[in-house]
Amino acid sequence: MHVFKVVNLAAESANPLIPHTAELIVGAVAFTLLFLVLRSKVVPMFEKAFTARTEAIQGGIERAEKAQLEAQRALAQYNEQLSKAREESQTMREEARTQGVAIIEELRAKAQEEAARITASAHASIEAERQQAITSLRNEVGTIAIELASKIVGEALDDQARQSRVVDRFLDDLEKSK
């Protein structure tokens, strides 16, 4: 039983939940060394990366704000140009409409002038043909009248002046009878 007591005593003195003093000292020294190495080497790298990341984000935000301002300026300029283009196109349409009306009026005036010219030419042509027909009819009627008068009177009317007087008298009588 004595052996049992010794093991029991050793078991009581070696509690696994309570570490030995040497382990505590080694652990504290190792933790302190690890803390100092991390603080001097790793933490500055993390801070540097964090600062670089923050600057990149800030720069990105600033660039995005600048790009947004530029986009707003470009949009305002585009809208201004668009409104100017609309005004110009409206002005051009009005000018084209005005020119179209002027061209139509000009063409209408030219057509009326051409119609008047054609009408005048037709009247002149008709008048010339009428005069020619009258002259032709006078000659034919004169010849017929002289032949008739010669047959009625019984003598020849060879004298040109006499023939003209007889024809004129005959035609005048015809015109008066109308």
The C-alpha atoms of residue 124 and residue 140 are separated, in whole angstroms, by 24
Intervals of the chain under pLDDT 70 = 1-14, 149-151, 153-160, 162-163, 178
Q: Which residue type sits at 72?
A: Q
Q: pLDDT digits over 77-129, tens only?
A: 999 999 999 999 999 999 999 999 999 999 999 999 999 999 999 899 998 88
Which pLDDT score is estimated for 6? 47
Query: What is residue 140's predicted lDDT score, i.e. its pLDDT?
Result: 78
Joined together, the tokens standing for residue 11 give: 């078991």
pLDDT of residue 169: 78
Integer Rg of the chain from CA = 66
Q: Which residues of 86-113 are buried (b: 16+ CB within 10 A; e: fewer)?
A: eeeeeeeeeeeeeeeeeeeeeeeeeeee
Site of tokens 């030219």: 110
- Residues 138-153: b if buried by 16+ CB within 10 A, e if exposed: beeebeebbeebeeee
Query: 141: which 2 tokens?
Result: 């009627």
Report the predicted TM-score, pTM, of the whole model to 2 decimal places. Answer: 0.38
In this prediction, residue 149 carries a pLDDT of 67
Contact partners, residue 156, CB within 8 Å, separation at least 6: 150
| Residue 96: per-residue pLDDT | 92
CA dihedral 62, 66, 67, 69 (to 10 degrees): 140
Per DSSP, 38 falls in state: I
**Which CA distances in Å does 32 have to 28, 107, 131?**
6, 106, 141
Q: What is the DSSP letter of 14?
A: -
